[in-house]
């Protein structure tokens, strides 16, 4: 059965998925988007692209004022096809480059700058509005989607996972890309990122009051996607 046919209560739903780094947001969101025929937006990739731009243009990523002064200069593009997600920077595909340790080490500082968050939120809302207007709908994943960017999303999910599991997953991903893959150092990096995301003054990582929490620690990806789909069906199917 096509799951999308069961979502009769909401035309072109907009779904927000937040959670900690390494909790499986991207994989789950892409799986849900594919199952429901929705568009997909990787907002974290957008922040990474801005960070790459700052690094390439010699902007001091520890200087919030310097970052804010050029926050609107990067041209960020995002493919919303969940089967072929792609991030472009000034017309160049940077989908792999934004995952390098160089960008990973700097993204928390850049993403904490209010001017950057405001610029990205405007773009992200525009993507969501276009997806709803087109009749396709959207699932957007990040760290402030349900609380700040899309507070009126039809469904909000918040993914969590055991820190050791998250570190192992992220290390495996980095290793596959040829970027190290050491679990201990990855765990330390994730802990620092969690602290930075949760402690920043603007748009901190926080579970929305109406979000459904899904612990993705030990179930298979397919099982977590199935759980997410069940929540979405329950939250949207009864609406008229």
CATH class of the 12-235 domain in this structure? alpha beta
Distance, in Å, from the CA atom of 240 to the CA atom of 237, rounded to the nearest integer, reads: 8
DSSP 219: S
This prediction's pTM: 0.85
When pLDDT is averaged across residues 190-205 and rounded to a whole number, the result is 79
Over 50: is that where the pLDDT of 48 sits?
yes
| CA gyration radius, the chain | 17
Q: pLDDT, tens digit, for every residue of 1-19?
A: 344 434 445 679 999 999 9
Q: pLDDT, tens digit, for every residue of 136-193?
A: 999 999 999 999 999 999 999 999 999 888 888 878 877 777 776 688 888 888 888 7
Residues 6+ away with beta carbon under 8 Å from 196: 108, 109, 112
∠ CA(229), CA(231), CA(236), 5° rounding? Answer: 95
Q: Which two tokens stand for residue 150?
A: 């899309």
pLDDT value, residue 237: 75
When pLDDT is averaged across residues 124-145 and rounded to a whole number, the result is 95
């Amino acid at each position: 059965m096509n799951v999308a046919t069961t979502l009769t209560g909401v035309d072109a739903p907009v779904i927000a998925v937040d959670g900690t780094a390494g909790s499986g947001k991207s994989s789950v969101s892409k799986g849900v988007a594919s199952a429901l025929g929705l568009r997909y937006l990787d907002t974290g990739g957008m922040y990474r692209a801005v960070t790459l731009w700052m690094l390439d243009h010699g902007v001091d990523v520890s200087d919030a004022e310097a970052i804010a002064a050029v926050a609107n200069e990067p041209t960020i593009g995002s493919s919303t096809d969940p089967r072929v997600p792609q991030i472009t920077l000034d017309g160049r595909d940077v989908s792999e480059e934004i995952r390098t340790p160089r960008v990973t080490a700097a993204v928390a500082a850049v993403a904490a700058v209010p001017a950057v968050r405001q610029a990205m939120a405007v773009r992200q809302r525009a993507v969501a509005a276009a997806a709803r207007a087109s009749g396709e709908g959207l699932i957007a994943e990040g760290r402030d989607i349900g609380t700040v960017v899309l507070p009126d999303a039809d469904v909000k999910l918040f993914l969590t996972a055991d820190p050791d599991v998250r570190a192992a997953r992220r290390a495996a991903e980095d290793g596959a890309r040829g970027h190290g893959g050491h679990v201990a150092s990855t765990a330390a990096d994730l802990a620092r990122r969690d602290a930075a995301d949760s402690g920043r003054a603007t748009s901190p990582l926080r579970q929305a009051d109406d979000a459904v929490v899904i612990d993705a620690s030990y179930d298979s990806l397919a099982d977590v996607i199935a759980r997410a789909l069940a929540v979405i069906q329950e939250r949207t199917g009864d609406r008229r």
